[in-house]
Structure 1
Amino acid sequence: MLIYLIEGDRSQSVSLGGVLSGAGYMVACYADGADALRAMRRTAPDLVVLDRKLPDIDGLEVLAWIRRHYADTPVVMLTSAALECDIVAALEAGADDYLMKPVKHAELVARINALVRRTRRQAARSDAQSFGAYTVNYQERRVLMHGQAVSLTPKEYEILEMLARNVGRLMPREAVLNQIWGQVHDLTHSRSLDTHIYRLRRKLHLGQQSGVSLRVVYSHGYRLECHEG
């Protein structure tokens, strides 16, 4: 789980980042909204902890951007305001939860754990997902492009499903190999993965025209990227 902690107060950022890391989460800290948005354009987080008062952008503007691009990403908003109208504004703008400052560490971890459990249950119930020109039906293990079925081999489908369930996130090459071929894999499997990635690109015509690209990040992994219309 990758959490983006967007907090303008350095001491708070260090403190909360340490708490979340200690709870087993990967944490990327950003001191302002602009840096956080640049990072989110590259890699989507699994969850965001967002301060309402940032030094450069109103936290609600950052929240609005997240909701436009990553509608299902959970967001916990931190606020110093005790007024009910400020809390209501955050929730109506799309925050999944909020916490008053100073943040109680145990409560923050408990709230995030609850959001993660809820998100995972929702994902497990999801039968299909659409992005760009594509729809992946997880129940039927079927892929549609512009409404037409695409013939994929079992391994091609499994790789695509892994990437589709993590659109916008960089999937490490080793993680793909482990999930598709198991913990024990060799150079043959590594070359086979390269071949499967090449075939997926061709069969699905991945690129600007389809609205989705399959990006290879050299020596790191793969990421499905949706282009903004």
Structure 2
Amino acid sequence: MERFRVMIYVIEDEEIQALCYQAMLERAGWEVRVLPDGAGALREIQREAPDVVVLDRRLPDIDGLEILNWIRERYPTLPILMLTSAVLELDIVTALDAGADDYMVKPPRERELVARINVLRRRTLDGHQGMIMIEIGSYLIDTRERAVYLHGKQIALSPKEYEIVELLARNVGHVVPRGTVVGRVWGHVDEESNSRSLDTHIYRIRHKLNLTCSNGVMLRVIYTHGYRLDDLSRMDSQRQSRVELGAG
């Protein structure tokens, strides 16, 4: 049984095609949100990141490759399946080189579309499940025991506090939108009470974990977007590498 609901964004401007894809994916048991233009899709992804993106190569306002690059810069592990009307090898290679995980030529066959998305999801989940122990700064997160340790001492967290910490830790260095946190932990994105509860949980997490520079981890609030967990030691190493490259 899956721990969280699965949300798929279909970014497609042709209404009939979009509704067809939506029906296919909903029959597979997934939640689907149809986004008819690129600008709206980017706003929605920032508000709540999905589990999979099905992206049309050509949109009326923003080229699909631009959206692909934008997503890859901010959500490097988000699975993206690109749909294209082109059958030329060059177009397909261009999409894959730009960061698409897979592609299908329109119109996709239902069973194949569902199967390919399942492959992408399994690949992502296997990568995440492989992270049994997550080390960040002075903290150790044991995902099997659902426990967080600071200098070897376990910190008492509620189940929801732990889920928030694990979600942020699996995306260390990347902004996790508020809507994504609420959707993954509470299952409802738009409920105001859950949003207020998130603020309370973040406050408690800061204090329980003592997230300070001395422990090597900071939890940052990114205004109007969400939260980012930063591993300060990793950032220092990256900064030092850039300095050395510049000196070379």
TM-score (norm 2): 0.67
- Separation in 2, partners of 1:51, 1:150: 49
Task: Indicate whether 1:226 and 2:233 are aligned.
Answer: no
Counterpart of 1:155 in structure 2 is 158
Q: Please list every run of 5 or more consecutive structure 2 residues that lacks an aligned counterpart in the other structure.
A: 1-5, 189-196, 212-216, 230-248
C-alpha deviations, 1:151-210, integer Å up to 9, x for none? Answer: 73143762444543584313356559xxxxxxxxxxxxxxx998755321334577xx94
- Counterpart amino acid of 1:116? R
1:138 aligns with 2:142: yes
Partner of 1:10: 15
Q: Per chain length, whose mean CA-contact separation is higher, i.e. which structure has more relative contact order (CA < 8 Å, sep 6+)?
A: 2
2:28 equivalent among 3, 17, 23: 23
Structure 1 length as normaliser, TM-score? 0.72
Q: Counterparts of 2:130 and 2:13 in 1: how far apart (Å)?
A: 36
User: Is the 8 Å Cα contact of residues 150 and 204 (structure 1) preserved in structure 2?
Assistant: no
2:112 matched to which residue of 1? Answer: 107
**2:90 is aligned with what amino acid?**
C
CA 1:102–1:196 in structure 2 vs 1: closer, same or farther (change >3 Å)?
A: closer
- 1:126 equivalent to 2:131? Answer yes
Task: Give the share of equivalent positions with the same residue, in percent.
Answer: 44
Alignment RMSD (CA, Å) = 3.7
Please report how far the alpha carbon of residue 104 of structure 1 lies from its aligned counterpart in structure 2 after TM superposition.
1.3
User: 2:246 is matched with which residue?
Assistant: none
Cα deviation for residue 103 of structure 1 reads: 1.5
- What residue is the counterpart of 1:180 in the other structure? none
Q: Partner of 2:49: helix, strand, or coil?
A: coil
In structure 1, stretches of 5+ residues that fail to align are 177-191, 216-222
Does 1:80 pair with 2:82? no
Q: Contact 1:52–1:58 (CA<8 Å) still a contact in 2? A: yes
Deviation at 1:96, TM superposition (A): 0.6
SS in 2 for 1:103: coil
Mapping for residues 18-57 of structure 1, pairs under 5 Å:
18-57=23-62
Stretch of structure 1 that moved more, 148-157 or 3-12: 148-157
Contact 1:3 1:47 in 2 (8 A): yes
More deviation in 121-130 or 89-98? 121-130
Residues 9-50 of structure 1, C-alpha deviations (whole Å, 9 max, x = no match): 111001101111111111111111100000011111111000
SS in 1 for 2:18: helix
Say which SS state the counterpart of residue 137 (structure 1) adopts.
Answer: strand
Q: Is the 8 A contact 2:85 2:105 kept in 1?
A: yes
Say if 2:141 and 2:166, in contact at 8 Å, map to a contact too: no
- Equivalent residue pairs, number: 201
Q: What letter corresponds to residue 32 of structure 2 in structure 1? A: V
